[in-house]
Amino acid sequence: MKNLRWVHTAGLAAVTVVMAFVLLHYTDLLYKFQALSSIDGGLKCLFVPGGLLTFLGSAFAGLCKWPVLGGVLFIVVLAALAALLVFGFRGQGRLAFLGVLPSVLLFLFVTRLGYRIYALNGAVLFSQALGLLLSALLLVWMRRAERLDFAVLAVIVGYALLGFYALLPALVFAVRKPYVLVAAVLVPVVYWVPAGGEFLTCWLAGTPAGALDFGGLWPLVAAWMVFIGSSLSLKDDKEMNWAWLVPALAVYAICIWSAFEMPYRWGLFHRQLAAERYLEEGRWNEALEACTASKVTNDVLIAYRNAALFGMGRLEEDCLRYSFTIDQSEQPGYEESLRLAGPTVYYHCGLYDLCAECCRVINACIAPANERNRLLEMSLSRAAGMQPSESEDFMSVNDLPSSAPDMVLRYYATASDLAPELAPWHIVAKSISLY
């Protein structure tokens, strides 16, 4: 019955509002995506399968420097994807309500990353959502053309730009034109053989599959599977009737519950993100409050606390007055702690040479990030006695006395003697051994 169209409209609107409400409470997470985004190789990335998604994802993630703007834009992309799947093609099929699920799963993928975010390019915030949205539009074009040669051309050209997300609509369209599967298999091989890479890696080009474990990847994989299922269901041109009202309402209710309850919100992760943002902006008091909001902490927050105290000029007198309990469940190892906190703490403590070296080593191990690239540039400038041109825009750093590095080293040596637990992994004194 056409009068049941309001079910999809109201359900989609409710889910979108809930996702927006939850995401805008994650401003520090959105800001971190901006800090971790990077276009590795510049425009050369466009010549890699899926490179267009990385380019666009990095460009849009840069808007998360203003988290509300970036968050609203991300929700708009998710809402556009859901609307296209729910109302697209022949419209109100009986299973059209399944079209909202990929957007919710993409939302969960972003908000459940937790500490895994540090291993990713921040472009992933938008690249995967844009990938599915462009896949849906490509499928619309394939279905309207209804020609095998057009579908094969779409796979060939689309794979160069979208990577895996050009193959998804081919899997759906293969129900009508089975031979398009041949193109979906052979096109990645054309890239795979000359590059000498693994077939699965080339087939999944444009996705973060190689950088995440299943715990971080499952919402994205589920989004792909539901996208295929919901796209297939859209050929059902039978109108929704009252018998399908309960399943539709149940799906929308589950989506709303999932958006509220399933994001990663507890523990030390968000305190750490807040501390990093405040340190970057030179807001020492706020950084200290984020690090000491609870007695439960980890090594990285202790290091950030000390950096905040140093920036306030209170390191020597206040560093021993805080009591805390280490949360072993969120306690990174020695090298992981250094990778997370090393560049920031080195920079704010005036150890510019160590900061630059740390940034180089980390960028060689994982994807470069805007924050590390800019820290590297500014550290090299300050080490050479010059004021970095972007310091006003990127960080508010107090002028440090020439004795600052010696003071920090002296603090950690003293803290190790007085209370070894207060000098976690001896971030300055011991880190040289890693290089």
Distance of CA 305 to the CA centre of its chain: 25
What local confidence, expressed as pLDDT, does residue 432 receive?
Answer: 31
List the beta bridge partners of residue 284.
Answer: none
Please indicate, yes or no, whether residues 162 and 284 belong to a single structural domain of this protein. Answer: no
Can you state the angle between helices 404-418 and 299-312, rounded to 10 degrees? 130
Tell me the CA distances in angstroms from 75 to 205, 223, 231, 301, one per residue in order.
24, 16, 21, 31
Please check whether residues 34 and 113 belong to one and the same domain.
yes
pLDDT tier at 394, thresholds 50, 70, 90: very low
Domain co-membership, 229 together with 287: no
| 75-99: pLDDT as tens digits | 999 999 998 888 775 555 667 788 8
Query: How far apart, in whole angstroms, are the C-alpha atoms of residue 205 and residue 196?
Result: 14
Q: Largest Cα–Cα distance in the chain?
A: 78
Do 173 and 291 have their domain in common?
no
Span 57-70, pLDDT tens digits: 988 998 998 999 99
424 confidence band (pLDDT: 50, 70, 90): very low
- Percent share of the chain, pLDDT over 90: 16
Q: Which domain does 375 fall in, by range?
A: 269-434
Can you give the pLDDT at residue 200?
75
Which ranges of 124-268 does DSSP label H, i.e. alpha helix? Answer: 124-145, 148-162, 164-173, 180-195, 199-203, 214-233, 245-261
- Tell me which of 261, 286, 306 is where a domain ends: 261
Element housing 103 (H / E): helix 101-111
223 with 340, same domain: the answer is no
pLDDT tens-place string over residues 19-48: 999 998 888 999 989 888 877 656 667 778
Closest by alpha carbon to 319, among 340, 332, 343, 302? 302
As a whole number, the mean pLDDT across the chain is: 76
Contact indicator for 133, 278 with CB cutoff of 8 Å: no
Task: Name the band, by pLDDT with cuts 50, 70 and 90, for residue 204.
Answer: confident
Instruction: Fill in the amino acid letter for 243.
Output: A
Q: Which residues contact 51 (CB under 8 A, 6 or more apart)?
A: 45, 161, 163, 206
| pTM check: above 0.85 | no
Q: Structurally, how many domains does the chain consist of?
A: 2
Specify whether 344 is located in the same domain as 407.
yes
Give the burial class of 378: count Cβ atoms within 10 A of its Cβ; 0-12 exposed, 13-18 middle, 19 or more buried. Answer: buried
